[in-house]
Amino acid sequence: MKSVLLLGASGSIGTQSLDVIRQFKDRFALAAFSVGRRTETVPSVIEEFKPDYLTVKSEEDAIRLRKEYPGMHIYSGDEGLLEIIRESGADLVINALTGYIGLKPTALTLELGKELALANKESLVMGGQYVMRLAKEKGIRVRPIDSEHSAIFQALQGNRHEDAEDLIITASGGSLRNRTRDQLADVTVADALAHPSWNMGKKITVDSATMMNKGFEVIEAHWLFDIGYDHIRTVLHPESVVHSLVEYKDRSVIAQLGVPDMRVPIQYALLYPERYDNHSERLSLEDIGDLHFRKMSYERYPLLKLAYDTGKAGGNLGAVLNGANEAAVKLFLEEKISFLEIEELIFDAVSHFKKEGKYLPDPDLDEILDADHYAYQYVKKKALWDRH
């Protein structure tokens, strides 16, 4: 029996991770979990899984929950996320947090030598160099949960890494994939959130529409699989059936296919290298009929090109890209900026950061977080200035 700590239990990945743990309750026990402000989800998780540790966003919620569950160890805030990793004794940490907040838990998990199943993109976008160096030092294989990276991970099994020529990451195109650039000026929040294939959180759905999500995945793939950016390609695939592919030196291409159900990659990350039946829908190619692939356009999706350029530059620029994106998407979801202003603000933040001479080639953890914070605040202030 392996004990599990689930960070981000109330989110989309978190709830589906609970589905997997529930199905394989003879293999996994939920020792600890975290939620942010959605504490209404706490009672059902405690009743079903009987964990001993919990952390929440606010201390006010923690005080209330300690009275309701006096036998539990309950923490709060950013430090609570770290405390629960140190104290829970979990063997495996699932990091399903969203945003920069996931970086420190990722780093601490590796420092303590625990297994890590990673869904927090920002850990590698912001601090890939730092995180993967730490994983190598500790001899830990970071197991990806993203469907695209899980697909690559699976397609690499049984083959020599040095024989892989290119990684090919597919993109659904998001909710706005059938719109031209000229048709993006009047995009509403509801338009951007109407993803045709996946049921995801609001931020990642907007990131899918701007293609920033795919840019983040390119950076993640570079660090997870130790391959150069010139050997990572992206392709539009609206059906979301082929999740990613690996092309080998002999021109063989191995793809991983499946229905768009995140429980499949979650299960693979938790049970690797074993495979078991699950409750997901079977893929029926006969019913789907046709699969389509289209070339990715940097003109249509300029943030994807920016992600490649930022990834190649390395250092603390990934943190700048992430911080700027988090702020811009938040402003859009609050209807304070237009959809196209997301791009404008992110480009401006990255350019400004470099002009200010703040680039660092090999930042430590605090310097990574400082760069993220700087970009986040810059975008917020810039958006406000532009309104006056």
Average pLDDT for 79-104: 96
Cis, bond preceding 238 (omega within 30 deg of 0) = no
**What percent of the chain clears pLDDT 70, i.e. is strictly above it?**
98
222-255 CB burial, b ≥16 within 10 A, e <16 = bbbbebebeebbbbbbbbbbbbbbbbbeeeeebb
The C-alpha atoms of residue 312 and residue 165 are separated, in whole angstroms, by 18
Distance of CA 3 to the CA centre of its chain: 23
- For 121, how many CA atoms within 13 A lie in the half-sphere containing its CB? 25
CB of 341 closer than 8 Å to CB of 327: no
> Which pLDDT belongs to residue 199?
66
pLDDT(388) > 50: no
pLDDT(386) > 70: no
Q: Which residue has the higher pLDDT, 112 or 388?
A: 112
150 to each of 84, 256, 378, how far by Cα in Å? 27, 9, 34
Average pLDDT, whole number, for the chain?
A: 95
200 confidence band (pLDDT: 50, 70, 90): confident
3-state SS of 205-218 is: HHHHHHCHHHHHHH
| DSSP-derived 3-state class of residue 272 | coil
364 confidence band (pLDDT: 50, 70, 90): very high
Average pLDDT for 169-179: 90
Q: Catalogue all structural domains in the chain, each as residue range(s) with its CATH number.
A: 2-141 (3.40.50.720), 146-180+211-298 (no CATH)
201 to each of 8, 76, 189, how far by Cα in Å? 12, 23, 13
74 confidence band (pLDDT: 50, 70, 90): very high
pLDDT(312) > 60: yes
CB of 332 closer than 8 Å to CB of 209: no
Average pLDDT for 320-347: 96
Encode pLDDT of 246-281 as tens digits. Answer: 999 999 999 999 998 999 999 999 999 999 988 888
The size of the chain, in residues, is: 388
Q: Please, which residues bridge with residue 33 across strands?
A: 6, 54
DSSP conformation class of 122 = H
Q: CA angle at residue 146 from 145 to 152, to 5 degrees?
A: 95
Average pLDDT for 199-209: 85
Average pLDDT for 192-196: 83
pTM: 0.95
The C-alpha atoms of residue 152 and residue 126 are separated, in whole angstroms, by 21
